[in-house]
Amino acid sequence: MDLPMSLPYLQLTAPSWPLETETVSPAAMEERPTWEPEAWGSPGGWLAPREARAGPSLSSVLNELPSAATLRYRGPGVLPWGASEEEEEDGERRLQTMAEVAQQELEEPVPSRELPWPMQARRTHRKSHARDQVAQGSGSRASNCALKFRRLKEKTKEGLHTLQPWAWTLKRIGGQFGAGTESYFSLLRFLLLLNVLASVIKACMTLLPTWLEGTLPGPPGSDTSSPCGFYNPSPQGLVTFPTHLLNLLSGEGFLEWSPLFYGFYPPRAHLAITYLCSVFVIGLLYLLFILHRSVSGLKQTLVAESGALTSYSHRVFTAWDFGLCGDVHVRLRQRNILYELQVELEEAVVRRQAAVRTLGQQARVWSVRILLNLLVIALLGAAFYGIYWATGATVELQETPSVQQMPLLKLLVDYLPSIFISGVNFLLPPVFKLIAPLEGYTRSHQIAFILLRTVFLRLASLLVLLFSLWNQITCGGKAEAEECKTCGYNYKELPCWETRLGQEMYKLLLFDLLTGVAVMLLIQFPRKLLCGLCPGALGRVVGTQEFQVPDEVLGLIYAQTVVWVGSFFCPLLPLLNTAKFLLLFYFKKFTLFSTCSPASRTFRASTANFFFPLVLLLGLAISAVPVLYSIFLIPPSKLCGPFQGQSSIWAQIPESISNLPQTVQNFLFFLGTQAFAVPLLLISSILMAYTLALANSYGRLVSELKRQIETEAQNKVFLAQRAVALSSATGALRPP
Amino acid sequence: MGNKQTVFTHEQLEAYQDNPFRQRIAQVFSEDGDGHMTLDNFLDMFSVMSEMAPRDLKAYYAFKIYDFNNDGYICAWDLEQTVTKLTRGELSAEEVSLVCEKVLDEADGDHDGRLSLEDFQNMILRAPDFLSTFHIRI
């Protein structure tokens, strides 16, 4: 075999020069001029003639395979690494044969940047490629156009990327604190942009029609008489400045009759339609954007191997973040990796123990788990009851004269539900974190359980608040109760219930922002300052704060869910939320860089990209429930809002449809009939079943291909060994 | 960065990175393999470690970085070196060998006791975080 030309730089035997990279210095290089040990070339270049005489080695045979073309061929005009100077003339001849072979192997013109060649080689390739292109003339116009179109697409994508704000900040955060923290800020930026879009659409669809269609009626005074009581939102007499400030915080007084809340908008037909449609349009947009984001995160996670099969190899080879700089961060990352590996080994031990548990031990473990779950349910139940009671008590307490006289006490009573919710969200997650290790699950399962419980707590507490409000508005669902008989809702306590709901959401938003800022200023900064001065281990333990990504992300999702629920009743809420998120971004960034050290346990970015958009979708789904219920089932207030006098908010739509031309009406009515819905349902089910079957078959194909790859690798090694054996046998038979 | 020098020694680069793999990176990307990089090598390095580099290219260079003895395979000794550098030597020897054993179990497709480029590529191309960690942000 004509193999003395090839480079036997893959050696079969164990390296005879085990390299201690720390000890090899440039000085040592000069002592062995013919040996370039660090090169991806021939560690034993001078061994080549000897081996060629003995016949090809296994490594040289494997080197000849087509799949090793990249390793052989380093590019036009570049010597393969490790080739010494004496071989240059041979090298050139070799290069040319290899160049031809390689050109054939590159079936399609690969862009220069994707070739694993050094810079010099890539420049040569690009020049020759450009020359070829020019030589071909216009080539074919179609391919030229396709090329131009592709370049245009790439340029626009790059342009859009640079348009995204804070790109550099996110990169810096990712470099210093890890990809998990970066995913939090990326989610914050995404939600901020969504809120901007939503506020623009809301402004166009509710504010503009309001102001363009004539003068606005003032607030109803106390002299209007109607069977549904009276509604007088404007403040009486002279209002002091502190009261104004408190009104700003609680959404009453001058804010109650303002574009901020539902009650302000006059009962005009067009406004009613656009008001209702804006909600649906914005909901649809949110859904599309979040789906788009979660799908791109899902693609990566689905393609990735299931964690159980590759956890160690992935941890060892992808754990190190090459972008980290600074001694502190490097040390922390190393501690992190150490922790993760130890946890993995521990988990393996736990799993082994679990596998050998006797029946008695299993029973004990399961009884402990059931007890702990009951405890969690009891805690959650107590929390929810507290929130329910607080919301009910607020209305009663607001009636008492002592409360009405002291504005601060009134503010406290107003904020009672928000205080309860924030308190519960603050106190219960640490309890969950304490309970989780007692259940005997592996660490990753524990984290999953803690997250699930916290998510449930946050979203369900909001639902409980809304349920309590619904109770008040509809007298517990009993339409025959004496307070709700005349008007369908509790008109005595809540003459304009939509505004009241909007006010609650407004208060939740404000309180969330205030607690965030307060925690930062009053807890995190002093902790960092004071405990940084504390001596010894205590100071270090108490003083280092970590940016807890899951907690922060869940807080973000909760805030966004509040806005989703409230934006029907408080149209300017997305605008307020935009301002809040903007402030939050800068506050959190400042806190991160000045008080936090990178988390010692990372939250993997891939999990974050998949899990958090899912929870966001859940929040969107949950927020749709109260809004849709209010639109369809609760009678609108008779004294305020664009839907005054209708039997339900949705009733506006059929009325306006009847004003449209007949064909459009027929079409829209057809959409609502069974003749349309049933075939649609059938077709959707068929499509879903088809997609599931496709996914199933792809999964099976992937595992089949994996098995084939393994078999082929074994075949390859086997054949190479046979080739070596045959040629050495032939060589032995040759006369010396 | 430097004063119109054309060759960067690996000591100079050390000042910019506390990366435990800094010497391997310098050796892999330098032209003559001894850690001295020209500007072209430097550009190569940042081009491979940038976010635009395709996955297979990164996998190829990652393999070279983790192959400490340059024999074309990541053997058990290479793995031990890697794990020790990753954990700053704080794992016990027994734990290190346990981890290396598990890695070889998981990734060694042709069962020859070491990882070839194909094994490594098959394994790494399925890792979801690879692109974000094999990335120097400049």
Residues of chain B contacting residue A119, judged by C-beta atoms under 8 Å apart: 40-41, 43-44, 47
* Largest separation between any pair of C-alpha atoms in chain B: 50
Distance from CA of B131 to the nearest CA of A (A): 9
Residues of chain A contacting residue B128, judged by C-beta atoms under 8 Å apart: 300-301, 303-304, 604, 606
- For A448, the token pair is 């999953």
A724 pLDDT more than 80: yes
DSSP-assigned states of every residue in A393-437: HHHHHHHSHHHHH-HHHHHHHHTHHHHHHHHHHHHHHHHHHHHGG
Name the residue type at position A584.
L
How far apart CA A626 and CA A320 sit, in angstroms, is 46
Q: Are strands A596-597 and B7-8 parallel, antiparallel or unpaired?
A: unpaired
Q: What SS3 class is residue A329? A: helix
Tell me the residues of chain B between 113 and 132 that have a Cβ less than 8 Å away from chain A.
116-120, 122-124, 126-130, 132
Q: Identify the pLDDT of residue A55.
A: 58
Neighbours of B73 (CB within 10 A): 23
**Confidence label for A42 from pLDDT (cuts 50, 70 and 90):** very low
HSE-up of A49 (CA within 13 Å, CB side)? Answer: 3
Q: What is the mean pLDDT of residues A245-249?
A: 83
How far apart CA B121 and CA A322 sit, in angstroms, is 18
Residues 6+ apart with CB under 8 A from B125: B55, B56, B59
A124 pLDDT more than 70: yes
**Confidence label for A36 from pLDDT (cuts 50, 70 and 90):** very low
Q: Give me the interface pTM, i.e. the ipTM.
A: 0.84
Residues of chain A contacting residue B27, judged by C-beta atoms under 8 Å apart: 21, 38
Give residue limits of the domains in chain A.
167-217+234-647, 660-725
The answer to whether the CB of B72 falls within 8 A of the CB of A41 is: no
Q: Identify the pLDDT of residue A118.
A: 67
The most confident of the ranges A128-142, A212-226, A245-259 is A245-259
- For A246, the token pair is 């408190």
Model pTM?
A: 0.74
Distance from CA of A713 to the nearest CA of B (A): 6
Q: What is the mean pLDDT of residues A365-369?
A: 90
Question: Considering chain A, what percentage of its residues have pLDDT values greater than 70?
Answer: 76
How many whole angstroms from its chain centre is CA A240? 46
Among the partner-chain residues B72, B126, B135, the one whose CB lies closest to the CB of A322 is B135
Neighbours of A708 (CB within 10 A): 10
B1 touches chain A (CB under 8 A): no
Q: Identify the pLDDT of residue A202.
A: 92
Taking only the tens place, the pLDDT of each residue in B50-92 is 877 777 788 888 988 998 888 888 888 988 988 888 887 778 8
How far apart CA A82 and CA A99 sit, in angstroms, is 18
Residue B21 lies in a domain: yes
Of the two residues A29 and A580, the one the predictor is more confident about is A580
- Cβ separation B18–A326 shorter than 8 A: yes
Q: What is the mean pLDDT of residues A271-275?
A: 89
How far apart CA A311 and CA A169 sit, in angstroms, is 31
DSSP-assigned states of every residue in A248-312: HHHT-GGGTTSTTSGGGS---HHHHHHHHHHHHHHHHHHHHHHHHHHHHHHHHHHHSPPHHHHHH
- Cβ separation B127–A314 shorter than 8 A: yes
Residues of chain B contacting residue A342, judged by C-beta atoms under 8 Å apart: 91, 95
Q: Identify the pLDDT of residue A41.
A: 36
- Cβ separation A345–B99 shorter than 8 A: yes
Measured between alpha carbons, how far is residue A371 from residues A365, A376, A538 in Å?
Answer: 10, 9, 35
Question: Considering chain A, what percentage of its residues have pLDDT values greater than 90?
Answer: 17
Chain A to chain B Cβ contacts (< 8 Å):
211
Q: Identify the pLDDT of residue A26.
A: 41
Q: What SS3 class is residue A545? A: strand
Residue B138 lies in a domain: no
Neighbours of A650 (CB within 10 A): 16
Contacts of B97-104 with CB under 8 Å at 24 or more apart are B98/A345, B99/A312, B99/A316, B99/A341, B99/A345, B100/B76, B102/A312, B102/A313, B103/A312, B103/A313, B103/A316, B103/B79, B104/B76, B104/B79
B121 pLDDT more than 70: yes
Which of A11-15, A578-582, B104-108 is predicted least confidently? A11-15
Q: Identify the pLDDT of residue A19.
A: 36
- List the helix and strand counts (H, then E) for chain A: 28, 2
Name the residue type at position A472.
Q
Domain with B69, as residue range(s), is 8-132
**Burial of residue A158 (number of CB atoms within 10 Å: 0-12, 13-18, 19+):** exposed
Residue B124 lies in a domain: yes
A406 pLDDT more than 80: no
Total number of domains constituting chain B: 1
Neighbours of A450 (CB within 10 A): 20
Measured between alpha carbons, how far is residue A591 from residues A324, A333, A550, A586 in Å?
Answer: 20, 20, 17, 8
Q: What is the mean pLDDT of residues A88-114?
A: 55
A413 pLDDT more than 80: yes
A519 pLDDT more than 70: yes
Residue of B nearest to A340 (CA): B87
Among the partner-chain residues A116, A120, A300, the one whose CB lies closest to the CB of B60 is A116
How far apart CA A58 and CA A724 sit, in angstroms, is 6
A337 pLDDT more than 90: no
Which is it for the CA torsion A580, A583, A585, A590, positive or negative? Answer: negative
| Residue-averaged pLDDT of chain A | 77
- For A186, the token pair is 């990326």
How far apart CA A467 and CA A128 sit, in angstroms, is 72
Q: Identify the pLDDT of residue A621.
A: 93
**Confidence label for A293 from pLDDT (cuts 50, 70 and 90):** confident
How many whole angstroms from its chain centre is CA B73? 13
Q: Identify the pLDDT of residue A114.
A: 66
Residues of chain A contacting residue B30, judged by C-beta atoms under 8 Å apart: 38
Among the partner-chain residues B116, B126, B132, the one whose CB lies closest to the CB of A179 is B132
How far apart CA A375 and CA A379 sit, in angstroms, is 6
Q: What is the mean pLDDT of residues A498-514?
A: 90
Q: Identify the pLDDT of residue A300.
A: 65
Residue B115 lies in a domain: yes
A512 pLDDT more than 70: yes
Residue A417: closest CA among A464, A474, A355: A464
- Cβ separation B27–A21 shorter than 8 A: yes
Q: The CATH number of the domain where B65 resides is what?
A: 1.10.238.10
Residues of chain A contacting residue B71, judged by C-beta atoms under 8 Å apart: 10-11, 14-15, 43
HSE-up of A117 (CA within 13 Å, CB side)? Answer: 26
| Residue-averaged pLDDT of chain B | 79
Q: What is the mean pLDDT of residues A557-573?
A: 92
Of the two residues A237 and B8, the one the predictor is more confident about is A237
Distance from CA of A60 to the nearest CA of B (A): 12
* Tokens 């307490």 -> residue: A397
B8 touches chain A (CB under 8 A): no
How far apart CA A176 and CA A593 sit, in angstroms, is 9
A14 pLDDT more than 80: no
Residue B72 lies in a domain: yes
Q: What is the mean pLDDT of residues A521-549?
A: 73
A87 pLDDT more than 50: no
Mutation for B interface: A322, A717, A718, most B CBs within 10 A: A322
- Cβ separation A37–B122 shorter than 8 A: no
Mutation for A interface: B67, B110, B120, most A CBs within 10 A: B110
E strand or H helix that includes residue A700? helix A674-733
Q: What is the mean pLDDT of residues A426-441?
A: 87
Q: What is the mean pLDDT of residues A576-583?
A: 94
Residues of chain B contacting residue A17, judged by C-beta atoms under 8 Å apart: 69
Q: What is the mean pLDDT of residues A163-175?
A: 81
Distance from CA of A288 to the nearest CA of B (A): 24
Q: What is the mean pLDDT of residues B105-124?
A: 80
A435 pLDDT more than 70: yes
A650 DSSP 8-state letter? G
Q: What SS3 class is residue B8? A: strand
How far apart CA B20 and CA B86 sit, in angstroms, is 7
Residues of chain A contacting residue B137, judged by C-beta atoms under 8 Å apart: 171-172, 174-175, 323
B51 touches chain A (CB under 8 A): no
Among the partner-chain residues A313, A324, A714, the one whose CB lies closest to the CB of B110 is A714
